[in-house]
Structure 1
């Protein structure tokens, strides 16, 4: 655990009105949490004992893996516990269980995200993404509450905690809402729209944490001091995604976003995929495919070991990668080929330096660099292109965070490419600074004073048809009036700076005396100035539903939409004298 005595933390809970801020970093490959008491917000604690199940010292995160019993679709274990329990299953039991890994990527790659979204298993049956996420969040939350109890001697309940869940900045509004729904289903919050949950953007969280670090403890190039006025790029290289934001450090230690968040499907898991392809090339596609299917526990253990090896592959130290191959793989290879695994290396691969020695597959240095190169090259290319954007040219620092930031190869290439023109900063705790910063964000969400809109947002309107302005093919009769159908009315343009405290306000009146609610379509586009909501470059995000209290045509409801936060939020108010807030919901999910 982090420093600060148990008694000091316990003192923070003597007054039960004090809340705890707890941040859950639910990652593609690994997950963890951090927390601090409101009265001692700078005393951020990170749980570091995840690895005691598998004798991994000081593990700040646990694998994002869920074990499920197929009968009844019952989730049984999470993290190292899931891997351990799965490895203990007898061969005749294993078909009754499924194991799920790296399922977070489904929220980035699925176009229409809904409560019924399904994800495939590493081995076993496809299952509900909502079930997996809610189980994982509940497991981590309950583990955290248990840790707080042990550390403080005080019991804390979920409703005394302000929860923070981290997500990539490039995630869709639907994906963010999905995580909120999962937190509600996991019983972290009492209602889906509860302000007891804050969604934090991962690169922003890292930025908040790193702005206050002692630069003498950073791996950096050049004079890396950051003060008011500093403009810098945050490169969050996680397990699943590359997530990039551009920030400006303002007075009062506040942060403004200079350019919209960008990124790609370029996390450390892409290196894993390349490694698997290399194994397939060396040992045979069918062998590795069968190994994943028939010996899933051994395969997952091998990939966990490779995850550790990724942190030592260095372009300067020309060392081969030696990885043990399990006896189960040897038995499988013998069953499939009639030969021993040590004879699997063909003369062609031997000529390239591949060898099998004492149960270890030895891969030469240049070949293992080839596993990393396609991913690292694309990350470098992404940064290079960003630095050509007008709003980004002026940055002086590149802050590199995330689990993949620990890769010496990635560090080397970033410094080689940009070290002469930008100051490269790599925190020593690059993989944990997101959850630490997310805890800070939970204490003060106003730390980020403005963001740049990633998309153009608006709604559909139906004005009177004007042949000089509107497309004659997109009209509709409403009563005896010919109206243009579904024009895109822009609220926020792509790239526009949106302050945290800015709200778009408009009013609506009922169409009929007995109307009880109204629905407002919410649309978005990657174009600056879309014309019609039916255009191919426009998609409907969802609907805003506002309750209309009372009856009659003389009613009016004021609607406020806030785009400057990490989530789009909506508020409605009855405009009649003494009118109160009216129930307002926004839905981005497809079901």
Structure 2
């Protein structure tokens, strides 16, 4: 039974889909997304000058339409599509899950030299929400507030701790910032990820990825602003934020819901 001449037919209990339908309706969008992302990457000088090989892995790597499109869009790059590339990601995830320390070893020895450390470049901006003195004409009235000490402040200001494309050494990099809690009884620390440079944490493309609520049960003085330290740590298998009370050394920890 024929449904259309161009899209699909039933024949011998099988559904047959034409190649043109797959190209135009099914794979066009994903292929455009992949090639577009590669074009954006090759705009960067550090990639254009040093990376000439495109390695295809994952389930979609077995799609001949994708490989054809990449070879067409990047004729001056070497495109490698290895056998069983579709299971490479899965195998790597299983091996990493069983023994993540293998990434830190080479020939059975611990990697300790600068040249062999595992580094990643941050794909976004990471920071915390802070309060700063309110400045007329510079800050929006929407964010004007009065804190417990009676000071006029601007709330929800994005304090950037990690910039986009900043190099991070996995398992070693620890970003720190010290501040005084504006609240005398507790500190509400919100960690954000932004895809672009923003001024306020409520802007578009800025998402909260973690939150720490630190309570000061031992605070005897009503107007004591507690000094704190916030740390962003990037390990092999997790990213986390740690808040440390510098008066008592008590700490609070939260796992960050994000990828680098």
- Superposition TM-score, scaled by structure 2 size: 0.70
Out of 400, 409, 413, which is 2:56 matched to? Answer: 400
Check 1:450–1:581 CA distance in 2 against 1; reply closer, same or farther (3 A cut): farther
Corresponding residue for 1:506? 177
Out of 101, 118, 143, which is 1:443 matched to? Answer: 101
Is 1:359 aligned with 2:7?
no
Give, in whole Å, the separation in 1 of the partners of 2:30 and 2:85. 17
Corresponding residue for 1:458? 127
Out of 223, 228, 239, which is 1:568 matched to? Answer: 239
Corresponding residue for 1:428? 83
Out of 527, 534, 545, which is 2:196 matched to? Answer: 527
Give, in whole Å, the separation in 1 of the partners of 2:128 and 2:23. 49
Spell out, residue by residue over 1:382-436, the C-alpha distance to the aligned partner (whole angstroms, 9 max, x if none): 3234323333313111010001212233233333433x41111122121221133
Check 1:575–1:431 CA distance in 2 against 1; reply closer, same or farther (3 A cut): same
Larger strand percent:
2
Spell out, residue by residue over 1:307-359, the C-alpha distance to the aligned partner (whole angstroms, 9 max, x if none): xxxxxxxxxxxxxxxxxxxxxxxxxxxxxxxxxxx3xx25xx34x59655433
Spell out, residue by residue over 1:466-492, the C-alpha distance to the aligned partner (whole angstroms, 9 max, x if none): 336444553222344222233222212
Matched-pair contact (CA < 8 Å) for 2:100–2:237: no
1:188-199 paired onto structure 2 within 5 Å: none
1:52-201 paired onto structure 2 within 5 Å: none
1:193-212 paired onto structure 2 within 5 Å: none
Give, in whole Å, the separation in 2 of the partners of 1:503 and 1:400. 32
Give, in whole Å, the separation in 1 of the partners of 2:150 and 2:8. 79
Give, in whole Å, the separation in 2 of the partners of 1:587 and 1:415. 37
Spell out, residue by residue over 1:61-90, the C-alpha distance to the aligned partner (whole angstroms, 9 max, x if none): xxxxxxxxxxxxxxxxxxxxxxxxxxxxxx
Matched-pair contact (CA < 8 Å) for 1:397–1:424: yes
1:457 Cα shift? 2.0
Spell out, residue by residue over 1:187-231, the C-alpha distance to the aligned partner (whole angstroms, 9 max, x if none): xxxxxxxxxxxxxxxxxxxxxxxxxxxxxxxxxxxxxxxxxxxxx
1:450 Cα shift? 2.2
Between stretches 388-397 and 545-554, larger displacement belongs to 545-554
Corresponding residue for 2:66? 410
Gaps of 5+ in 1: 1-341
SS state of the match for residue 85, structure 2?
coil
SS state of the match for residue 485, structure 1?
strand
Spell out, residue by residue over 1:525-564, the C-alpha distance to the aligned partner (whole angstroms, 9 max, x if none): 2222x22234345343341234657444596544322257
Give, in whole Å, the separation in 1 of the partners of 2:136 and 2:255. 34
Corresponding residue for 2:153? 483
Give, in whole Å, the separation in 2 of the partners of 1:587 and 1:369. 38
1:321-360 paired onto structure 2 within 5 Å: 342=1, 345=2, 349-350=4-5, 352=6, 356-360=10-14
* Aligned residue pair count: 236
SS state of the match for residue 384, structure 1?
helix
1:4-43 paired onto structure 2 within 5 Å: none
RMSD (Å) for aligned C-alpha atoms: 3.6
Corresponding residue for 2:107? none
Matched-pair contact (CA < 8 Å) for 1:545–1:586: no
Give, in whole Å, the separation in 2 of the partners of 1:355 and 1:536. 45
Gaps of 5+ in 2: 105-115
Give, in whole Å, the separation in 2 of the partners of 1:536 and 1:445. 36
Matched-pair contact (CA < 8 Å) for 1:544–1:586: no
Larger helix percent:
1
Corresponding residue for 2:213? 545
Check 1:492–1:407 CA distance in 2 against 1; reply closer, same or farther (3 A cut): same
- Superposition TM-score, scaled by structure 1 size: 0.35
SS state of the match for residue 118, structure 2?
strand
